[in-house]
């Protein structure tokens, strides 16, 4: 019985530590954006387009798992910066495709490289096995909590 209670308590702590982890990660990302004129929101759009290629606002919203209206604001910021451009969407006239411009691609590539260098330092004393296990657990817990709440995606 004690083992089950400890497991539940540790799992509870793992879930609730996600917020401080994300706040620390966001602060680190934000610090890395100094001098770029990018916001964390704009960076998120650039990363999704870098990772998945050109896509529509609804597609970006699905990848970020946030509301389309909020993503539209994020995308408008990146469009006005010249880091992203609109292209016609042959499948849907009212939902253009967004794509990185050359400068947007170059900037996000540089930013991701800088972040990976920071993570190299952060994870210096963590084994690949520990990191893989942590990732596997977080992915499983996330999937199961989404299923539990009825928000499977």
Quick one: pLDDT band at residue 152, thresholds 50, 70, 90?
low
> Residue 98 and residue 56: Cα distance in Å, rounded?
6
Neighbours of 63 (CB within 10 A): 17
CA 13, CA 23: separation in Å to the nearest integer? 16
Query: For the segment 38-88, what is each residue's pLDDT rounded down to a tens digit?
Result: 999 999 999 999 999 999 999 999 999 999 999 999 999 999 999 999 998
Cβ atoms < 10 Å from Cβ of 76: 14
The CB density around residue 25, as the number of other CB atoms within 10 Å, is 15
pTM for this prediction: 0.84
CB 102 within 8 A of CB 110: no
The answer to whether the beta carbons of residues 74 and 84 sit under 8 Å apart is no
In whole angstroms, give the CA distance from residue 72 to residue 116. 28
pLDDT at site 3? 66
Give the integer Cα–Cα distance in Å for 119 and 123.
6
**Res. 94 pLDDT band, cuts 50 70 90:** confident
Q: How confident is the model at residue 2 (pLDDT cuts 50, 70, 90)?
A: low
Q: 109 vs 7, 44, 70, 115, CA distance in Å? A: 40, 13, 24, 10
Q: How far apart are CA 128 and CA 136, in angstroms?
A: 12
pLDDT at 1 over 80: no
DSSP alpha helices (H): ranges in the chain? 2-16, 18-32, 40-52, 57-64, 68-81, 102-122, 128-149
């Amino acid at each position: 019985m004690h083992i089950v209670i400890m497991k539940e308590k540790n799992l509870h702590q793992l879930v609730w530590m996600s917020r401080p982890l994300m706040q620390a990660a966001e602060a680190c990302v934000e610090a890395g954006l100094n001098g770029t004129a990018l916001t964390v929101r704009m960076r998120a759009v650039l990363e999704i387009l870098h990772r998945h290629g050109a896509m529509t606002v609804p597609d970006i919203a699905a990848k970020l798992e946030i509301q389309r209206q909020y993503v539209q604001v994020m995308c408008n910021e990146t469009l006005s910066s010249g880091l992203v451009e609109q292209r016609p969407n042959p499948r849907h006239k009212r939902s253009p495709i967004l794509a990185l411009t050359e400068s947007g691609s170059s900037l996000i590539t540089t930013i991701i490289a800088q972040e990976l260098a920071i993570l190299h330092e952060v994870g210096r004393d963590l084994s690949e096995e520990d990191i893989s296990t942590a990732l596997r657990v977080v992915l499983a817990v996330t999937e199961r909590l989404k299923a539990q709440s009825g928000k499977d995606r």
